[in-house]
Amino acid sequence: MQELKDTQAERDTRNISIDRVGVKGLRFPIQIKDKMNRNQSTVATVSLAVDLPKEFKGTHMSRFVEVLHQHGPQLDVHSVVSLPKELLQRLNAGRAHVSLDFPFFRMKTAPVSGLEGMMDYQVRFELDAVPGKTPDFMLTVQVPVTTLCPCSKALSKYGAHNQRGIVTYSVRFATQPIWIEDLIDLVEDCASCGLYSILKRPDEKWVTEYAFEHPVFVEDLVRNIAIKTESHSAFRWYKVEAENFESIHNHQAYAQIERDLSN
C-alpha cells in the first residue's frame, strides 16, 4: 500500500506558534450522571483544541473527534477531567482545551400543588490541561430566577414590579467538584424566587407573595451568591453575573462579582 503524505506534519517556516487549534461546534450525544446517580441523556456542543508549536504546519483534526468517541458518551463533573488528558497524549501537545455546552434537565415540584415539571438549565464544562498537572476545571451554570425590585416595593401602594433574570455562575473547585444541582439550589436561594415550569393557581399565589416578601436588586443577588460561595470551603474561585430583563425599562440591569479565593 502506498504511504500517504502527512502534510500537517511538515515544517512551517513562519516562526509563529498557535495558542489553540482544533474543532468547535461539534454536536455530540452525552449522558450526564446527576446527583441521584441517574444517567441523563442530552446533546453537547463541543470544542476541542490544543496548542501548535511554531515548527509544525498543522494539527491532525480527525484525532480530536477520535478522542471524543473513544472517551465515550458518559460524563459527569468527576470523569470529564480525563478528556483533555487524552488529547495531550494523542496529539503530543503542551496544552489542551475542552469545552462542552449542554442543557441539563431537572424535575421541580410546585410549592403548593406538588405537581412536577421539568426545568432546563444551560451548563458548561470547560477544562485546560498541561502535562503532569491536574486539569483546570471551570463549571458554569445559567439559572433563571425571579427578582422583585425593593425600590418599587418601597414606593408603590399596590405592588412592585418584578422580572425574570438570568444568573451565570462559574466556579472552580478547591477539592472535589460539587453537583450541578447544588449550584442551582445555591443561586435560587439567593433570588426573590425560583422559577417553575408548572404552577396552578395556589402555586402562583405562593410564588408571587414569596417574591414580594424577598425583594432583591441585581446588586443584592450577586452579593447574596458571593456570601454563600465564600462561606463554602469547596470553592477556590468564582464569578457570578446577574442580568435582569427589566419589566418597566427597555434595558437590562446587570451586576458581576469575580473573586479568587485561593490566596
Asked whether 238 and 170 are in contact (CB, 8 A), the reply is yes
Centre a 10 Å sphere on the Cβ of residue 38 and count the other Cβ atoms it contains. 9
pLDDT tens track for 75-118: 777 778 889 999 999 988 999 999 999 999 999 999 999 999 99
Q: What is the pLDDT of residue 109?
A: 97
31 lies in some domain: yes
Residue 4: inside a domain, yes or no? no
With respect to residue 241, please indicate whether it lies within any of the assigned structural domains.
yes
Domain annotation covers residue 206: yes
Summarised one tens digit per residue, pLDDT across range 166-194 is 999 999 999 888 899 999 999 999 999 99
Task: Give the closest residue to 121 by CA, choosing from 59, 66, 185.
Answer: 185
pLDDT at 173: 93
Task: Please state whether the predicted TM-score (pTM) of the whole model is above 0.85.
Answer: yes
- Whether 14 maps to a domain, the answer reads no
Domain count across the chain: 1
Q: Give domain status of residue 153, yes or no.
A: yes
Residue 11 within any structural domain of the chain = no
Domain range for residue 46? 19-260
**Angle at Cα 128 formed by Cα 122 and Cα 130, nearest 5°?**
165
SS3 52: strand
When pLDDT is averaged across residues 144-172 and rounded to a whole number, the result is: 94
Band of residue 54 on the pLDDT scale cut at 50, 70, 90: confident
> CATH no. for residue 176?
3.10.270.10
